A and B are shown apart, each in its own frame.
Chain A
Amino acid sequence: MKKKAEGLYIIVVGCGKIGSIVASYMSASGNNVVVIDNREAAFDNLSEEFTGFKILGDATEIVHLRETKIERANVVLALTGDDNTNFMVSTVAKQYFGVKEVIARVNDPDNEDIFREFDIEVVSPTALVAEKIIQRVDAGGQS
Chain B
Amino acid sequence: MKIVIIGGYRIAYHLARSMISKGYHVYIVNRDPQVCQELAKKLSAIIINGDGSKKNILDQIEFSPNDIVVILTNTDRDSLIISQMIKKYYHVERIVTLVNDPENIDIFNRLGVKVAISPTSLLSQTIQSLLLVEEMEEFFPVEEGKLVFLRLEIPETSPSAGKKLRDINLPNECIIGGILRQNNVVIPRGETDLLPGDRVFIICEPKVQTQVIKHLVGE
Enumerate chain A interface residues (CB-CB to B < 8 A): 60-63, 82-85, 87-88, 91-92, 95-96, 108, 110-111, 113-114, 117-118
Contact = CB atoms under 8 A, between A and B. Distances in A.
Nearest to A88: B77
Contacts of B78: 84
B186 to A, nearest CB: 45
A61 B76 CA distance: 9
Contacts of B85: 114
Nearest to B53: A84
A88 B110 contact: no
Contacts of A113: 55
A113 B84 CA distance: 11
A118 B110 CA distance: 13
A87 B79 CA distance: 11
Interface of B: 53-56, 75-78, 80-81, 84-85, 88-89, 101, 103-104, 106-107, 110-111
A63 B76 contact: no
Contact of A87 (B54, B80, B106, B107): B80
Contacts of B110: 95-96
Given A88-B81, A114-B88, A62 B54 contact: no
A110 B107 contact: no
A92 B107 contact: yes
B81 A62 contact: no
A32 to B, nearest CB: 25
**Which interface residue of A60, A91, A117 has the most chain B CB atoms within 10 A?**
A60
5 contacts: A62-B103, A62-B104, A96-B107, A114-B88, A114-B89
Contacts of A85: 77
A108 B54 contact: yes
Given A84-B81, A114-B81, A117-B88, A91 B111 contact: yes
Contact of B84 (A60, A96, A110, A114): A114
A87 B81 contact: yes
B63 to A, nearest CB: 15
Given A91-B80, A110-B56, A114-B84, A63 B103 contact: yes
Contacts of B55: 110-111, 113-114
Given A62-B107, A96-B110, A87 B88 contact: no
Given A87-B80, A87-B81, A88-B80, 18 more contacts: A60-B75, A61-B101, A62-B101, A62-B103, A62-B107, A83-B81, A84-B53, A84-B78, A87-B77, A88-B76, A91-B80, A96-B110, A110-B54, A114-B81, A114-B84, A114-B88, A117-B84, A117-B88
A85 B53 CA distance: 11
A87 to B, nearest CB: 5
A88 B73 CA distance: 14
A93 B30 CA distance: 29
